[in-house]
Amino acid sequence: MPKSLIVVESPTKVKTITKFLGSNYTVKASGGHVRDLPQKKLSVDIENGFKPDYVIIDSKKKYVKQIKEAAKKASNIFLATDPDREGEAIGWHLAHELKNIKKPIKRITFNEITRDAVQEAIKKPGKIDQKLVDAQQARRVLDRLVGYQISPILGRTIKWGLSAGRVQSVAVRLICEREAEIESFIPEEYWSITAKLKGDKTDPFEAKLNKIGKKKAKVENEGQAKTIVKQSTDEDFIVDKIQRKERKRRPVPPFITSRLQQEAARKLRFTARKTMVIAQQLYEGLEIGDEGMVGLITYMRTDSTRVASEAINAVRDFISEKYGSEYLPGRPVTYKSRKGAQDAHEAIRPTSIARNPEDIKQFLNKDQLALYDLIWKRFVASQMKPALLDVTTIDIKAGKYIYRATGSIIKFQGFMSVYLEGKDDSPDDDKESILPELKQGQILELLGITPQQHFTQPPHRYSEATLVKALEEKGIGRPSTYASIISTIQSREYVIKEKNRFIPTEMGKMVNLLLVESFPEVLDVEFTARMESELDDIEDGKRKWVEVLEEFYGPFSKYLEKAPETIRSVKKDMEEVTDEVCEQCGKKMVIKWGRFGKFLACSGYPECRNTRELDDDEQGNDENNSIDEVCEKCGSPMVVKVGRYGKFLACSAYPDCKNTKQLKNGEKVEDEPTDEVCEKCGSPMVIKTGRYGRFMACSKYPKCKTVKSISIGIDCPQEDCDGYLTERRGRGGRPFYGCSNYPDCKFAVWNKPVDKKCPECGAPFLVEKTTKAKGEHLACYNKECSYTEPKNQED
């Protein structure tokens, strides 16, 4: 009897779903998208209704071949790709490739990968939702039109290799504008005045100046502060008013995608990408003891707070049994999703509340457990009673000055006994204390009064959590795209992350300024949010996708025509004439912008092409660039410079001496001693770090210039080659692993090799990989072999 074929996206799902179904089903994976626009050309026919020219992705041809072979033998084909726009589009592309096989093609979706959910989906198959496909297709074409037509202009007018993206460039704009706010911020002085007081037989407590007469207290300088302190000290401190209120603190809803990314960033220090990779693993399924492979959470790309009634009933039973009826509300708690939220999927929750994190922690790695624990606790807390707090406010009069003390006591913990949401950038002085019992009219003893100077602070730079929050609030992108947006703007070196905060690079600032001037509408935050709304309208069937693209492309094409001239004009305006004179032709030097920031160039260009780097103070960096180090080549002082890869040490005698050394976290990278000796002079060899990675060099350098690459312990797999593999870095700074006999042997791989023989094809080593479907895992380096295994077998 012919089997039914079920096609999913991820190979991990194959194993999980196969366990739920009988022998009448074959499950195959597509490996994600199987068709896309080719990379080397625009591949969109603008004149013919923006028709996209799709091709099968090279790396997915083997998946398509396997699916087609299985489809020929199948009685029915069920497309079970992810239940969102991307998943619907993948199913549509698969249906296109399978149409000639002429077998019934049905669409099934499930919000969680459990036996009941999968079997129920097969019983109720549907059709591919063309509206979802059109919305995805519109986004893909829109992004291609922007990226492939703006990037070449940047390349021609600024520097080859620069690129732009419809949503990513707007995210860079937010970061650049926040940095501009910080740079232009002028601190304002203000003072706080705190009185330390004590009642009869009570512990001391603190009260802060709150009002002067009936007006809010505003102390702007030291003179005012001293006057207030003196006048207050001369008065009795009398309890004027006591207010006690019971306040409810309500639980927060179960996670949606954006909130999960924010909370994981706050509490676990996870990047948005890491959060989504781990969530994907929890969704697709993990081996849980006797249960085998099972999906632990519902679908993790959602912006709905809706929860299935079965799950609510289960968690209410759990709360009643575990915490008692006093923690259980009289009716289920419901939450309203934000305006414009797609309600196709539930909120992110455990597939079974019975899988307590403590009970299954032995089957999860550290990161999986941390994220699952967060999701599980948030869901439990969302159906619990509010916490009750007794909030006390005491106003204390000292003449015309009113001092206020505020404190709170938790009367009933409610949901707070399970979970408490993290906060972004919360001030340390915002904490409340427990106050003593006092009576109105009571005179207090003044133990001391302290004035303290403060200055207003600039806005915080964006963290992962606050950037995701800003993108969501402004309607830029979708929660499922936030991880890739944040990853892309870092990989393009438009922003860097320091102390978990995003800072725009000089290149990022320059590109942002040029794009805002040349494409004001495309880079406009409100316009980008409107485009997201248009895509939602396509999904809802309110708009046609070609109409939306036509409305966008008309104004966009006009910006494209003017952009090269606009960019050149803006670049010219950005040049700053200096008092320095070119040592080659005598003309004035000007500050220009390049890929690595500002630099000095002769104003006589192109007749004179003299250029040189700017010093740190000329770059706008106030840090002292001197360091207690001399050049071992010429004896001149070494100075700190800023280049593409951050700060480094360079000889002050440049260009006569071009010696440089790497800095890491502001400190000089010391040479590492080894047991090897130089084959030329017999001196010890040391490990150094250069622009292209670590290497071994003679400790007598520069007298002896012997260098050799460092083996990672794996021989080169090429026949007739006696070399070994060594770590290197490419021009973009990305590490790769190549043969030590280069250029005679040009073998190289991007992924880190692991000294473990492939059990399937016998290849000499495996490589470390991270994919959306599998997370971190090992795979055979041989592209013809599909063998994979978990990175750590215990995981």
- Give residue-wise pLDDT tens across range 423-444: 776 554 445 577 888 999 999 9
- Strand-pairing partners, residue 190, are 454
Residue type, 553: Y
Looking up tokens 């215990």 gives: 794
Q: Does residue 655 surpass a pLDDT of 50?
A: yes
Region for residue 297 given its phi and psi (left: phi exceeds 0; alpha: psi -120 to 50; beta: otherwise): beta
At 31-76, the pLDDT tens digits run 889 999 988 889 999 999 999 999 999 888 999 999 999 999 999 9
pTM over 0.75: no
Is the distance from CB of 86 to CB of 113 less than 8 angstroms? Answer: no
Burial class of 335 by CB neighbour count within 10 A (0 to 12, 13 to 18, 19+): middle
- Strand-pairing partners, residue 401, are 212, 398
Q: Does residue 793 surpass a pLDDT of 50?
A: no
**If pLDDT is split at 50, 70 and 90, which confidence band does 742 have?**
confident
User: What pLDDT sits at residue 624?
Assistant: 42
Dihedral angle over CA of 760, 762, 766, 772, nearest 10: -30
3-7, 259-263, 382-386, 705-709: least confidently modelled range = 705-709
Is the distance from CB of 240 to CB of 213 less than 8 angstroms? Answer: no
The angle subtended at Cα 584 by Cα 583 and Cα 590, nearest 5°, is 65
- Percent of the chain with pLDDT strictly greater than 70: 91
CA 228/CA 642 separation, integer angstroms: 49
Q: What is the mean pLDDT of the chain?
A: 86
Pull the structure tokens for residue 121.
């989906």
Is the distance from CB of 585 to CB of 608 less than 8 angstroms? Answer: yes
> Which of 708 and 355 is assigned the larger pLDDT?
355
Burial class of 309 by CB neighbour count within 10 A (0 to 12, 13 to 18, 19+): exposed
User: What pLDDT sits at residue 643?
Assistant: 56
> Which of 235 and 662 is assigned the larger pLDDT?
235
> Which of 656 and 781 is assigned the larger pLDDT?
781
Dihedral angle over CA of 691, 693, 696, 697, nearest 10: 0
At 5-23, the pLDDT tens digits run 999 998 888 888 988 887 8
3-class SS of residue 632? coil
Q: Angle, nearest 10°, between helix axes 130-157 and 506-518? A: 110
Q: Does residue 492 surpass a pLDDT of 90?
A: no
Q: Could you give the residue numbers annotated as active site?
A: 299
Q: Does residue 623 surpass a pLDDT of 50?
A: no
User: What pLDDT sits at residue 615?
Assistant: 59
User: What pLDDT sits at residue 594?
Assistant: 63
User: What pLDDT sits at residue 498?
Assistant: 86
Burial class of 326 by CB neighbour count within 10 A (0 to 12, 13 to 18, 19+): exposed
Q: What's the distance, CA 214 to chain centroid?
A: 47
**If pLDDT is split at 50, 70 and 90, which confidence band does 731 have?**
low
Which runs of consecutive H residues, i.e. helices, occur in 78-167? Answer: 85-98, 115-123, 130-157
What value does the mean pLDDT take over residues 202-218? 93
At 361-394, the pLDDT tens digits run 999 999 999 999 999 999 999 999 999 999 999 9
Q: Does residue 215 surpass a pLDDT of 90?
A: yes
CA 691/CA 119 separation, integer angstroms: 55
414-428, 461-475, 513-527: least confidently modelled range = 414-428
User: What pLDDT sits at residue 347?
Assistant: 92
User: What pLDDT sits at residue 628?
Assistant: 65
Q: Beta 105-107 vs 77-79: how paired, if at all?
A: parallel
Dihedral angle over CA of 223, 225, 231, 235, nearest 10: -170
CA 113/CA 292 separation, integer angstroms: 13
At 308-350, the pLDDT tens digits run 889 999 999 999 999 999 999 999 999 887 765 665 688 999 9
